[in-house]
Amino acid sequence: MTTVDVVLGDITREQVDAIVTAANESLLGGGGVDGAIHRAAGDRLAHAGAAIAPCEPGDAKATPAFDLEPAVRHIIHTVGPVWEGGGYGEAEVLASCYRRSLEVADSLGASSVAFPAIATGVYGFPSDEAARIAVRSILATSTKVLRVRLVAFDEETYEALRAASA
């Protein structure tokens, strides 16, 4: 059974087998959480991402973790939906991000995974709804991952994730 913890902090400091990044389709790095993960993992991450790009919204692909914390072996890149008001399948694409990331984690043999709040930054997905989708999707996915950490970068996201997981 998968346990889900909600924490406020820096996802690049998590001691897990795999870290998920909210990527763009090019997998070359971007702003926000993705930029922070790319900076922490080093320049080789962009080269590895380019080699497996593009990644479609709702899908997930993995690279080595390079210079991240020693416990972290993999980075799972997933592309969230851009919020366009909720009538364009955004919720389904976001749920797929979590589901596909866990499937990739299983294929890598990862037993612990840290997720950011996917698509809530520049992609504009409302935090409360995104948090509910994240928790529901993780708990509904059949996975060998034993521990999931939902890592919030700010207090608002932390509170949304905490409420969704209660």
19 - beta bridge partners?
Answer: 75, 114
Catalytic position from the list 5, 10, 17, 34: 34
Taking a C-beta distance cutoff of 8 angstroms, is the pair 7, 149 a contact? yes
Catalytic: 5?
Answer: no
Continuous H helices in the chain: 32-41, 44-52, 90-108, 127-140, 155-165
Other beta carbons within 10 Å of 136:
15
Residues taking part in catalysis? 34
